[in-house]
Structure 1
Amino acid sequence: MARPLDQFAAPGRYVQRAPRFDSNYRIGVSGARGDCNRLNGRLNPVVAATLNLTLGAISRPFAYRKGTVDEAVVAQALKVGAFDVERLRRGGELVALYERMVASGRPPLVVDTAANIGAAAVFFTYKFPNARIIALEPDSAKFELLIANTAGLPVQCIQATVASEGAVDRAAPRVAVGDIYDRSPDTQPFILKFDIEADDLFALNTEWLQRTPALIASLSDYLVPGTAASRRFIKYTTGWDRDLIYAEDNLFSLRRTPMRAAA
C-alpha cells in the first residue's frame, strides 16, 4: 500500500491575484445528484451547484453542494475571510515573514488539515501565491470536490486525516504533521489550519507546534457541548510562548519568538 504522502500530486499553474467573492454564489445550480443530505431533520436531495470566484479579470468556478454545510464553509473562507491572518494586529509581521521565506528560496508551507471542499485552500493560494499548499481531507465526497476546486492551483491534495502519528493500516490513512514537514525540506512551515476536534493531533508528538509560526484552529465546542473538545489543544498551546487570538469562530495561535525565515 502506498504511503499517504506519496499520493501528493504536482502543483499546477495559478494566477497571482487576490480573490473577490461573488455574493450571488447561491445562483447557478448546474445539476442534481442522486444522494441525499439530512438538513433540519429532513432528507433532501443534494444539488450540485457552482459559484464564480472573480480573480481580477478572470473568473474561476467553484463547486459545492447546495443546501448543505458547504454553503457555510464557502461563505466563511471566501466571503467573510475568516482565515485571513493579515487582518490580525500581527498580520503585517506574518506577511513580512512570508515575503522573507519566498526571498530565501525556501517557500512557505501552508497545511490545511481540514480542507473540506477546498474553500480555504483556494483562499490561501491567492492570499499567498508563492506558498506551497498541502490539503488533507478524509471524506471521499468532499475530497472529490477538493480535487475539482483546486485543479490548476499549486495545491497538493491527499485523502487522509491528520494525527500525531502517521499510519496506513486504516480505511482512512493518517498523516502526522511532523512527517509532512520532514518530507517537505525545501519549504518552511508557515500556517497550519485544523479542526479543534482533531484531538489525536495532540496525543503524542507535538514538537511541530513550535515549528509553526501560525496555527488556525476552527473551534467546535459550541457544536458538541459537554465534550471539552478544545481541552487538549489548550493544554499544549498554553505551554508554549504563543499569542492566542480569537476571531470569526477561529483561534489563531501565533509564535511570539522572533519570526525569521531560514537562511
Structure 2
Amino acid sequence: MRNRVRFYELGLCIMNYGWWNGLKLFIKLKLKKTATLNVADARYPISLRAGNSDQLVFKQVFLLKEYDLDKDFGMAIPSDLGVIIDAGANIGLASVYFANRYPNAKIIAIEPETGNFQQLKKNTASYKNIIPLQAALWNKKEELIINNPGYGDWGFMVEENTSKKDGAVQALSVSDLMEQYNLKTIDLLKIDIEGAEKEVFESGAEKWLPKTKTIVVELHDRMKPGCSRVFFESIKEENFALLVSGENLICVRA
C-alpha cells in the first residue's frame, strides 16, 4: 500500500512538472527537504515545515490542483479576478496559487493560528497583491480562542472566548472585511475554516452573499455537525451552479 501511494505521488509530480523537475520535487518531498521548493506554478520559492501537515496542503494545492477552477468550469470563471478572499489560508499556498493564476487580483489571506500565519507571511512576502491578515472568519467582530482537536496544523478550530482566556484572536465577518478593504464585490471567496463556516453562513450572510460571485468551500460536518445544513439553507435563494471538486464544493453564480 505504501509503495502504491509513493508511485501515485511520483506520478502526480511528473504529470504536473515533467519527468526531471517532477522527479526532483518528489525526492525533495520524500526526504523532507522542503525549506525551499520551486514549482512552475509559483514565481517565488515555497517553504514547507518538516514533520507536520504542510506537505498535505502542498499536495492538495499544487499536485491535485484543487483550486484549478478552469478545469471544472472553464469559461464560467473569469480569467482576470479582481478580489479574492482566502479564509483559512493556513501557510498561504492557495493564496500563492491564486496570485500566480490571477496576478491582478487583490488577495486577502486570513489565518488565525500564529505558527501557520508566520509561515504564510514567509510564503507570500514576495507577492505584493497578497495581504496577510491574522484573524478568523466568523459572523461578527468577536474574540475567539483556537484549539487543536487533533487534526494537525491544518485542523485548528476556533470558538468564542467565553471564559476570557489569554491568546484570543480577532474574528471578522465577510462584511467587516468588505468594509475594511473597501470591497464592492468578491470575485472568489475560498473558505476552509474547520467548521466555522457554520457560523459564517448562519448569521449575516444575506448582506454579502449577493455580492459574491464564486465560493469554494470545504464543509466540515465531521468536526461540527450542521455545517452543510446551514450552508445550503443560506445559499438557496442565490443563483449558484454547484460542482464538487475534491474536498471542495464550488459555487459559481450563473
1:237 aligns with 2:223: no
State the match for 1:70 in structure 2.
54
Against the structure 1 CA distance between its residues 227 and 168, is the aligned structure 2 distance closer, same or farther, given a 3 Å change threshold?
closer
Partner residue in 2 for 1:118: 92
Separation of aligned partners in 2, 1:64 and 1:253: 30
1:149 aligns with 2:132: no
1:216 partner amino acid: V
Aligned twin of 2:216? 216
Q: What's the Cα RMSD here?
A: 2.8
Could you report, residue by residue, the CA deviation over 1:69-91 in whole angstroms, capped at 9, with x for unpaired residues? 211111111121101221123x3
Gap change, CA 1:92 and 1:59, over 3 Å in 2: closer
Deviations along 1:236-262, one digit per CA (max 9) or x if unpaired, are 112322111111110001112xxxxxx
Partner of 1:63, secondary structure, is coil
> What's 1:131 paired with?
105
Measure the CA separation in 2 of the matches of 1:176 and 1:48. 38
Counterpart pick for 1:250 among 238, 248, 253: 248
Equivalent position to 1:164, from 139, 151, 154: 139
Deviation (angstroms), 1:134: 0.3
Q: Which has the higher helix share?
A: 2
Distance 2:126 2:184 in 1: 20
**Bigger share in strand:** 1
Moved more, 243-252 or 63-72: 63-72
- Summarize the Cα distance change of 1:59–1:131 in structure 2 as closer, same or farther, 3 Å threshold: closer
Q: Is 1:93 matched up with 2:95? A: no
SS at match of 2:52: coil
Say if 2:43 and 2:100, in contact at 8 Å, map to a contact too: no
Aligned to 1:200: 199
Kindly indicate whether the alpha-carbon contact (under 8 Å) linking 1:53 and 1:61 is maintained by their aligned counterparts in 2. yes
RCO comparison, higher one (Cα < 8 Å, 6+): 1
Distance 1:118 1:26, change over 3 A: farther
TM-score, L = length of structure 2: 0.72
Task: Say if 1:84 and 1:241 are closer, same or farther in 2 by CA, change over 3 A.
Answer: same
TM-score by length of 1: 0.70
Superimposed CA distance per residue, residues 123-171 of structure 1 (whole angstroms, 9 cap, x where no aligned partner) = 0000100000000000011001000000110210111100111235861
* 2:75 aligned partner, one-letter code: G
Structure 2: distance between partners of 1:217 and 1:67: 27
**Percentage of pairs with the same residue:** 25
Residues 84 and 108 in structure 2, CA contact (< 8 A), matched pair in contact too: yes
Distance in 1 of aligned mates of 2:200 and 2:126:
30
Distance (whole Å) between structure 2 residues aligned to residue 86 and residue 121 of structure 1: 16
The code of the aligned residue for 2:141 comes to G
Report if aligned partners of 1:191, 1:214 keep a CA contact under 8 Å in 2: yes
How far 1:234 moved relative to its partner? 1.6
Q: Any gaps of 5 or more consecutive residues in structure 2?
A: 1-15, 145-160, 162-167
Misfit runs of 4+, over 6 Å: none
Q: What stretches of structure 1 of length at least 5 have no aligned partner? A: 1-18, 30-46, 100-107, 257-263
- TM-superposed CA distance for 1:187, in Å, is 6.2
In structure 2, relative to structure 1, the CA distance for the partners of 1:112 and 1:20 (3 Å cut) is farther
Between the two proteins, the alignment pairs up a number of residues equal to 209
The equivalent position to 1:54 in structure 2, one of 39, 59, 65, is 39
